[in-house]
Amino acid sequence: MTQSMAGRVVTRFGSQVLVEDDQGAVHRCTTRRRLEHGVCNDRVQWHRDAQGHGVVTDILPRTNLLERVDPRGNHKSVAANLSQVVVVIAPAPEPNWSLVDRYLAAIERMPARGVILFNKVDLLPMGSPLPSPLTEYRDLGYDVIHASVPNDRGMDTLRAALSSGVSVLVGQSGVGKSSLVKALLPDLEIRIGALSEMGGEGGRHTTTNATLYPLECGGALIDSPGVRDFTPGPASREALVQGFVELRERAGECRFQDCSHTVEPGCAVIEAVKAGHISPRRYESYRNLLPG
Ligand SMILES: Nc1nc2c(ncn2[C@@H]2O[C@H](COP(=O)(O)OP(=O)(O)OP(=O)(O)O)[C@@H](O)[C@H]2O)c(=O)[nH]1
Ligand SMILES: [Zn+2]
């Protein structure tokens, strides 16, 4: 056996994966059968077999996993080891704040860094106030970036935020994710073409699989339609509490250890809502997301 090397999965198609080595070169590899479930950005060990073919021999433990839930309710792994997830919203289509809370709760649980990108700010009338939920997110410690691709606003701030680690952009349809990705990766089509060719076998590679793209500003972006439209699945009550930073830090002070933070006496969360320390809107989001 030849020397074992470190790498990470750029994308997969069928039973094959493209693996990027430490020098940034990309190699087509097969995976051993028990390792079939490698996903984009998995850290792997690989080697060349006697015929010179790349073979992935090991998938290293993941720091986190982005999962998609399909319409039938099946969980599908999309990408691993993410540093941050950027939730894109815009003045139009009007933000679904409850969906933003759902995204942030899923991101906290992964765990990964959550960033909010308020896109298409050129649509805002001059001097209009910041939507109040954005102030809440800022107060909770989330970075809120304002951007507009046509006006080239906030793009440097966004690039700086993406410049280390591996990120994904998510958000509801029409908020401008495609335009942002095009601005961040102007040569996306060329890169997709090159990867497809590497896929061999008649370019069976499709862009529907999550793919890792190094960014010129440093860092990397994982993109695919399935990643952009990622909607988090339902969460248990305990998981949900962990997903709301302001609930998580108070839940330990409730009178009952198994407090659901909805009706119980001596609930530190309800007290904090009453005292104005937790936003009633966020608290409502938590209640609405509770499993029935
Ligand atoms: N005014 C303005 N319009 C924008 C901006 N970015 C994108 N748009 C427009 O918003 C619409 C949606 O943009 P897309 O980039 O396709 O949005 P998306 O989030 O990828 O949407 P889906 O493809 O439906 O998921 C298009 O008509 C864009 O031209 C922006 O910064 N300002
Ligand atoms: Zn409680």
179 is in an annotated binding site: yes
Residue minimizing CA distance to atom 10 of ligand 1: 176
pTM metric for this prediction: 0.93
* CA distance linking residue 222 with residue 212, whole number of Å: 4
Mean pLDDT across the chain: 92
Categorize the per-residue pLDDT at 292 as very low, low, confident or very high, splitting at 50, 70 and 90: confident
Structure tokens at 116: 């909010």
Residue minimizing CA distance to atom 6 of ligand 1: 176
What percent of the chain is helix, strand and coil (3-state, nearest 5)? Answer: 30, 25, 45
Q: What is the pLDDT of residue 281?
A: 98
Q: What is the pLDDT of residue 162?
A: 98
Q: What is the mean pLDDT of residues 123-144?
A: 94
Strand-pairing partners, residue 146, are 118
Please name the residue that has the structure tokens 């409850």: 98
Q: What is the pLDDT of residue 140?
A: 97
Q: What is the pLDDT of residue 34?
A: 72
**pLDDT over threshold 70, residue 3:** yes
Ligand nearest to the CA of 121: 1
Tell me if the domain spanning 65-228 has CATH number 3.40.50.300.
yes
Structure tokens at 43: 């850290």
Question: 97-109 and 280-289 helices cross at what angle (nearest 10)?
Answer: 70
- CB within 8 Å of 165: residues ≥ 6 apart: 82, 83, 84, 219, 220
> What is the number of the ligand 1 atom nearest to the C-alpha of 175?
19
* CA distance linking residue 94 with residue 85, whole number of Å: 20
Q: Where are the domains of the chain?
A: 5-59, 65-228, 237-289
User: Is the Cα torsion angle 264, 266, 269, 272 positive or negative in sign?
Assistant: positive
- The ipTM assigned to this model is 0.89
Does the CB atom of residue 150 touch ligand 1 within 6 A? yes
Q: What confidence tens digit (pLDDT) does each residue in 68-96 have?
A: 877 788 888 899 999 999 999 999 999 99
Q: Do 65-228 and 237-289 fold alike per CATH?
A: no
Q: What confidence tens digit (pLDDT) does each residue in 240-275 have?
A: 999 999 999 999 999 999 999 999 999 999 999 999
Fold of domain 5-59: OB fold (Dihydrolipoamide Acetyltransferase, E2P) (2.40.50)
Residue minimizing CA distance to atom 13 of ligand 1: 176
Q: What is the pLDDT of residue 91?
A: 96
Q: How many CB atoms lie within 10 A of CB 76?
A: 12
237-289: CATH number: 1.10.40.50
> What is the number of the ligand 1 atom nearest to the C-alpha of 174?
21
Does the CB atom of residue 175 touch ligand 1 within 6 A? yes
Q: What is the pLDDT of residue 1?
A: 55
Q: What confidence tens digit (pLDDT) does each residue in 154-164 have?
A: 999 999 999 99
Does the CB atom of residue 45 touch ligand 1 within 6 A? no
Does the CB atom of residue 117 touch ligand 1 within 6 A? no
Does the CB atom of residue 170 touch ligand 1 within 6 A? no
Ligand nearest to the CA of 259: 2
Categorize the per-residue pLDDT at 208 as very low, low, confident or very high, splitting at 50, 70 and 90: low
Ligand nearest to the CA of 258: 2
Does the CB atom of residue 193 touch ligand 1 within 6 A? no
Categorize the per-residue pLDDT at 22 as very low, low, confident or very high, splitting at 50, 70 and 90: very high
Q: Where are the alpha helices (DSSP H) in the chain?
A: 97-109, 132-139, 155-162, 177-184, 188-199, 225-228, 237-243, 245-248, 268-274, 280-289
DSSP state of 98: H
280: left (phi over 0), alpha (psi -120 to 50) or beta: alpha
- The answer to whether the CB of 52 falls within 8 A of the CB of 234 is no
**pLDDT over threshold 60, residue 204:** no
267 is in an annotated binding site: yes
